[in-house]
Structures are given as structure tokens and as C-alpha cells.
């Protein structure tokens, strides 16, 4: 078991990301428990946190296994494999940026603006 954890890079990557998984799971739970009070914000947060969690699981698996899958019996040479990996990484980065944008909208997007009256100007 110890050898599997230390020699398998995918498992190590999941272990290193474990704190993020905890934060995203807490976000999912909080979104579901606050659904009645803030349904739009909860839906946005639940969607973003769920997709971040799933993307991390799938993306990590892809990142560690895609080079092997593309080179073993595949038609791609090393240069094209690197290009495909960079395109996948760029796509993951764009997806992360969009999902974190959704989190920001969930936090700040539906708040009503309060109008504050400047007491000096009101007099």
C-alpha cells in the first residue's frame, strides 16, 4: 500500500489536492443548506463547486495519463503530444477561470445595493 501511494503519481496528485476537495465539498454542502434563503446564489455556487470538484478529478487523471495514451501506439510524435497537453491545460485554465467567476457572481451578483445618504449633504 505504501509503495502504491509513493509510486503512483496520480494518487499522489489526488492526495495533494485533498485540501481543495474539502473546501469544495464544504461549498457544496453550504450551497445546499442555504438554498431556501438564497436559491440563485446557491445554484450558482453549487454548480461551480461541483464542476470544480469533478474537473479536478477528471483533469488530474487526464494530465497524468494523457501523455501515455497519446504515445503508446498513437499516431502522435513527442512534439504533437506536448501541443495537445498544452491545449488541454489551457482549456482547464479557462474552465477554472469561468467557474471561479461563477463563484464571484454567486457571492456578490445578487446583492441589492444600499443607498446611503450623506448626512452633510442632506441638511
Could you read off the pLDDT of 24-61 as tens digits, one per residue? 999 999 999 999 998 999 999 999 999 999 999 999 99
Size (the chain), residues? 123
Phi and psi at 18, nearest 5°, equal -55, -40
Question: Is 51 buried (19+), middle (13-18) or exposed (0-12) by CB count in 10 A?
Answer: middle
Q: What pLDDT does residue 30 have?
A: 95
The structure's pTM equals 0.77
Q: Is the model's pLDDT at 69 over the cut of 90?
A: no
Q: What is the mean pLDDT of residues 98-108?
A: 93
Amino acid at each position: 500500500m505504501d509503495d502504491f501511494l509513493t509510486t503512483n503519481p496520480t494518487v499522489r496528485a489526488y492526495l495533494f489536492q485533498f485540501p481543495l476537495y474539502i473546501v469544495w465539498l464544504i461549498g457544496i454542502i453550504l450551497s445546499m443548506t442555504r438554498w431556501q434563503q438564497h436559491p440563485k446564489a446557491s445554484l450558482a455556487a453549487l454548480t461551480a463547486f461541483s464542476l470544480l470538484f469533478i474537473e479536478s478529478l477528471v483533469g488530474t487523471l487526464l494530465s497524468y495519463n494523457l501523455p501515455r495514451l497519446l504515445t503508446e501506439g498513437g499516431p502522435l510524435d513527442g512534439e504533437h503530444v506536448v501541443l495537445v497537453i498544452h491545449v488541454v491545460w489551457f482549456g482547464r485554465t479557462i474552465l477554472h477561470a469561468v467557474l471561479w467567476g461563477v463563484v464571484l457572481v454567486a457571492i456578490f451578483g445578487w446583492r441589492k445595493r444600499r443607498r446611503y445618504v450623506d448626512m452633510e449633504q442632506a441638511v
